[in-house]
């Protein structure tokens, strides 16, 4: 990023687990060429944009299968025979394996990335939905301090401690929402994923599915189809839509949220920070 171009506005990008990993199996990365293209896109965004950057990544096959197997999201609130503590350890080990790879590859490209661990900074009280934004204050303060010093903070979906149910799962989508409402001058949040945006039907099984290019926050979408049959304990596209709406609702007219496909012209346009025409092949919530 050129010093002369720095403005105060902040762009938050979430790299979905679906683009970083192969979600059909356990602890399997996306192809080296896909990873290379994703990380180079982060580099060009950092170099060309005048905005400050925060990255969040999902976990895909490095966390979802383990969390599902041990019901880590429900923790001890679910009467279970499985050892939830072992589940948390296995989930975190997988998440950190992917996280180390993301940090290393971005560092090798010259981005000043630093890791921020949700596990170390967030404690919830009876699951994500029952917990307030105070649970995230420490995480947000830490991220703001790094941003102020010119770093690119990198966060991720995680398994975290919960003081009522012992542990739970924190999606990177929720991390994005909490950062967007706490980090000063956040202007856009982008979910980079493996589909063009939100469709009126599942595009993977319906050829006539139509892309919904713009969503007003009051607009309800009925997406009845589950996106796919893989293990996903944080809700896939439905979760993204919920949090996208919430982010716009938190700061109407100040923050827009884009869901777009990694590697497309539309994603480059969104990451440039420019205004987005209604014809763009993506979904924008505003």
Residues that bind ligand IPE (CB under 6 A): 16-17, 58-60, 63-64, 67, 91, 95, 157-159, 169, 171-173, 232-234
Least separation, in Å, of the C-beta of 263 and ligand IPE? 17
CB atoms within 10 A of CB 245: 20
Least separation, in Å, of the C-beta of 114 and ligand IPE? 19
Q: For the residues of 47-77, what is the DSSP string, one character each?
A: HH-SSEEEEEE--TTTTHHHHHHTTTTTGGG
Q: In the complex with ligand IPE, which residue's Cβ is closer, 59 or 266?
A: 59
Least separation, in Å, of the C-beta of 208 and ligand IPE? 26
Q: Are 113 and 151 in contact (CB under 8 A)?
A: yes
Q: Measure the CA angle with vertex 69, ends 259 and 227; round to 5°.
A: 30
Q: Are 57 and 99 in contact (CB under 8 A)?
A: yes
- Binding residues, by number, are 60, 64, 172, 194, 236, 240
**Tokens 């966390």 appear where?**
63
Q: In the complex with ligand IPE, which residue's Cβ is closer, 9 or 93?
A: 93
Return all residues near 34 (Cβ < 8 A) that are at least 6 apart. 19
Q: In the complex with ligand IPE, which residue's Cβ is closer, 16 or 75?
A: 16
Q: Are 125 and 86 in contact (CB under 8 A)?
A: no
Q: In the complex with ligand IPE, which residue's Cβ is closer, 169 or 280?
A: 169
Residue in 36, 39, 16 with CA at minimum distance from that of residue 243: 16
In whole angstroms, how far apart are CA 27 and each of 59, 64, 97, 121, 165? 9, 9, 9, 25, 26
Q: In the complex with ligand IPE, which residue's Cβ is closer, 169 or 266?
A: 169
Token digits of residue 244: 């996208």
Least separation, in Å, of the C-beta of 17 and ligand IPE? 2
Cα separation, 194 vs 155, in Å, equals 20
Least separation, in Å, of the C-beta of 95 and ligand IPE? 5
Least separation, in Å, of the C-beta of 43 and ligand IPE? 21
Q: In the complex with ligand IPE, which residue's Cβ is closer, 1 or 243?
A: 243
Strands 214-215 and 198-199: unpaired
């Amino acid at each position: 990023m050129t010093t002369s171009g720095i403005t105060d506005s902040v762009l938050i990008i979430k790299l979905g687990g679906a683009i970083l990993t192969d979600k059909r199996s356990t602890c399997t990365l996306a192809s080296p060429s896909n990873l290379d293209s994703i990380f180079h896109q982060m580099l060009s965004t950092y170099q060309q944009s005048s905005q400050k950057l925060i990255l969040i990544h999902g976990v895909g096959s490095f966390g979802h299968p383990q969390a599902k197997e041990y019901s880590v999201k429900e923790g001890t609130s679910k009467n279970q025979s499985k050892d939830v503590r072992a589940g948390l350890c296995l989930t975190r080990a997988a998440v950190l394996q992917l996280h180390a790879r993301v940090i290393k590859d971005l560092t090798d490209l010259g981005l000043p990335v630093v890791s921020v661990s949700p596990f170390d900074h967030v404690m919830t009280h009876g699951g994500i939905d029952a917990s307030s934004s105070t649970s995230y204050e420490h995480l947000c303060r830490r991220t703001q301090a790094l941003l102020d010093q010119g770093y690119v903070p990198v966060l991720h979906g995680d398994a975290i401690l919960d003081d009522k149910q012992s542990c739970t799962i924190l999606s990177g989508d929720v991390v994005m929402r909490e950062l967007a409402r706490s980090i000063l001058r956040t202007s856009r949040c982008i979910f980079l994923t493996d589909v063009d945006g939100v469709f009126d039907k599942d595009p993977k099984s319906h050829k006539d599915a139509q892309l919904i290019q713009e969503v007003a926050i009051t607009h309800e979408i009925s997406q009845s189809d589950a996106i796919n049959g893989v293990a996903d304990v944080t809700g896939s596209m439905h979760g993204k839509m919920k949090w996208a709406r919430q982010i716009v609702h938190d700061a109407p007219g100040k923050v827009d949220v884009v869901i777009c496909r990694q590697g497309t012209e539309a994603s480059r346009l969104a990451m440039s920070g420019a205004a987005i025409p209604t014809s763009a092949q993506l979904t924008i919530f505003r």
